[in-house]
Amino acid sequence: MAKILISILQLGTIDYPTGLRLQEKLVSLRKECRIGDVVLLLEHTPVITLGRNAKSKNIVATPELLSQRGVEVHECDRGGDVTFHGLGQLVAYPIFDLRGFPSDGASRKTLGAIEYVRRLEEVLICSCADFGIAAKRILGLTGVWTEASAPATSKEHVGTGALARPVESQNRQPSSGAESKIAALGVHISRGVTSHGVALNVNTDLSFFNLIIPCGITSKPVTSMQKELNRPIAMREVAHSLSRNESTAKMIPLGPDYFMNSPNIASPLAGHILGTFANDFLIAEWQDAGGVSEQPRWIAPLHLHRSDDEAWYVLEGVLRVKVGDDDVELQVGSGVLVPRGTPHTYWNPGPNRVRYLLVMTSNIFQLIQDIHALPERTSAALRAVFAKHDSELL
């Protein structure tokens, strides 16, 4: 079976309805084979979600208290009961076509629902192990739980399989108390394509879980990586662990004069909106002509957006993206997010066209439209357009 390429898009903090609409659009595109497999990594603003099997009595807080704490409540089609999402919790939404993933079992060729859930749990267990936290499954329950006692002296991780990393086992720490839930899991599968996913408590304010009976389980508490290690953890480090991002980036010199005066800045051959979310979050598809490796076709000058994030997902060809000091080459099925305030540019490094999805706000879409409407891309004209949209050429 061919190698599976998975794009990891880090979206920062978004509200739950926006994340849900984005998932729905990506699932539709995946079913149509217009995109490859993708994982969305993000944090949600405070929200309680009720899965297909949820019991409303498991929300124990009054509507007044929920309003006071700024917590929304939403129903969804994932499996499971009631859970909480909020800042400091890393959420991963895999949009996978399971028919492209081989099964480890003898009874079927491709991945089934139960095996998929077990694999998600394995990723969470290994991510906890990366930070020295002993975690495991519990028979009959879904999710990942901390160990209640000291870890075994073996160099293998307790409760993990082939993905475990023996090198970190020497530093694993037991939970300070009883078995506690550190990660929740709930998925939906339609025509073989997955949505929803997992939520790992990193630096989560655990007092929010007092508003509910998490997953309807009263006998086991909830914990976080911060609580287990007695220190806050960088969300970016956990995101890298969860996504298994092993790519390396190199620095390249880029001068503003080269971009501003270069005749090699390309114009798009075509662009159109694929979907709009929460009035200002959208996906657009663009394609750009290629140049030659010695004189690449620059798609954008070096710039930043003060108020907007931006992400790319490659559908065809190769796209090079410079984010801060990092130069990343994106192949088909891969993507990258540029957080607001980060200098960046991107270009086509080869002679063939590149097609890519831009995940952006409507403000950035309008900026792109205004740039391509310019009769001449002079330095003054470009700077005026960028300033109009709270952005800056560098």
Cβ 336 vs Cβ 311: under 8 Å: yes
Q: For residue 203, count CB atoms less than 10 angstroms from its CB and return exposed for 0-12, middle for 13-18, buried for 19 or more.
A: buried
Sorted by sequence, the CB contacts under 8 Å of residue 269 that are 6+ apart come out as 287, 288, 289, 353
Catalytic entry in 76, 126, 128, 215: 215
Looking up tokens 């659009």 gives 25
Alpha helix segments (H runs only) across the chain:
16-31, 63-68, 113-130, 225-229, 235-243, 256-261, 362-372, 379-388
What letter does residue 114 receive in the DSSP assignment?
H
Sorted by sequence, the CB contacts under 8 Å of residue 316 that are 6+ apart come out as 287, 332, 353, 354, 355, 356
Q: Exposed e or buried b for every residue in 102-135, given b needs 16+ CB within 10 A? A: eeeeeeeeebbeebbbebbbbbbbbbbbbbbbbb
CA gap 351, 355 in Å, rounded: 13
Residue 76 a catalytic site member: no
CA angle at 117 for the pair 246 and 7, rounded to the nearest 5°:
35
CA gap 242, 252 in Å, rounded: 28
Residues tagged active-site: 215
